């Protein structure tokens, strides 16, 4: 579930203050990987661009299930981990 803070940020169009790369895999890194594959910074930017309140997630794992790219094609993701260890360092973690 998104916190109230991130909902406010989504509506305000706030830009990240800084960015670092992920070092170890986590649930958050997995979801960031999925947003970035689809061409977005993170959930905040996705919601700004697509004007949606909720992102479809797998109930079992909480991972993102489906994202719409900017060209309106859809990416569908598995309920298991997709971001392999060799790709973890490519994931950008934004700080607001």
- Number of compact structural domains in the chain: 1
Residue 44 lies in a domain: yes
Residue 34 belongs to domain spanning: 15-95
Give the range among 9-18, 29-38, 76-85 with minimum mean pLDDT: 9-18
Q: Estimate to the nearest angstrom the gap between the alpha carbon of 60 and the chain centroid.
A: 17
Residue 87 lies in a domain: yes
Instruction: Pick the closest to residue 82 from 58, 62, 63 (CA basis).
Output: 63
Residue 3 lies in a domain: no
Residue 1 lies in a domain: no
Residue 22 lies in a domain: yes
Q: What is the pTM of this model?
A: 0.86
pLDDT digits (tens, 9 = 90+) for 46-68: 999 999 999 999 999 999 999 99
Residue 10 lies in a domain: no
């Amino acid at each position: 579930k998104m916190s109230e803070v991130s909902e406010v940020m989504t509506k305000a169009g706030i830009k990240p203050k800084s960015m670092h790369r992920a070092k170890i895999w986590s649930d958050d890194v997995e979801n960031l990987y999925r947003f970035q594959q689809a061409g977005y910074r993170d959930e905040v930017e996705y919601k700004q661009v697509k004007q949606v309140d909720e992102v479809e997630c797998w109930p079992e794992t909480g991972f993102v299930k489906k994202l719409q790219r900017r060209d309106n094609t859809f990416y569908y993701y598995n309920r298991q981990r997709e971001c392999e260890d060799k790709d973890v360092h490519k994931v950008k973690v934004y700080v607001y």
